[in-house]
């Protein structure tokens, strides 16, 4: 996946600001269910927030890198325990995509 431009990253952060986390990564770590749910959410919404409940900063950073790599998504932003992930959907769903919904709101 090509790296996001500064403008794209800025736009995605603006959209992501209003989003709530849709996936929570808890004490179990990166399980198959978490990966499935993250992939489903990325396919539906394209831009999602994931909350990682790991206290150790290094462990959190490793989990963030791993979830992005496993799902093939791009890390847009990380603030504390929240990471904003982006992955272009193969077929965009206008009703579910946060990018499409935000485009309609900002016009």
Q: pLDDT of 49-82, one tens digit each?
A: 999 988 889 989 999 999 999 999 999 999 999 9
Q: pLDDT of 18-55, one tens digit each?
A: 999 999 988 788 899 999 999 999 999 999 999 998 88
**Is 0.85 topped by the overall pTM?**
yes
| CATH superfamily ID and name for 6-105 | YhbY-like (3.30.110.60)
Share in percent of the chain as helix, strand, coil (round to 5): 45, 20, 35
List Cα–Cα distances, 64 to 52, 70, 72, 90, 101, in angstroms: 8, 10, 12, 23, 26
**105 band by pLDDT with thresholds 50, 70 and 90:** low
Which three-class secondary structure state does DSSP give residue 18? Answer: coil
What pLDDT, on the 0 to 100 scale, is given for residue 85? 96
What pLDDT, on the 0 to 100 scale, is given for residue 72? 96
């Amino acid at each position: 996946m090509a790296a996001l431009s500064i403008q794209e990253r800025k736009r995605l952060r603006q959209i992501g600001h209003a989003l709530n986390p849709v996936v929570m990564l808890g004490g179990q770590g990166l399980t198959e269910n978490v990966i499935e749910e993250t992939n489903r959410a990325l396919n539906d919404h394209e831009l999602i927030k994931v909350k990682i409940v790991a206290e150790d900063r290094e462990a959190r950073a490793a989990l963030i890198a791993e979830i992005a790599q496993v799902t093939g998504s791009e890390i847009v932003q990380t603030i504390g325990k929240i990471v904003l992930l982006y992955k272009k959907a193969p077929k965009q769903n206008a009703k579910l995509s946060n990018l499409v919904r935000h485009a309609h709101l900002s016009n």
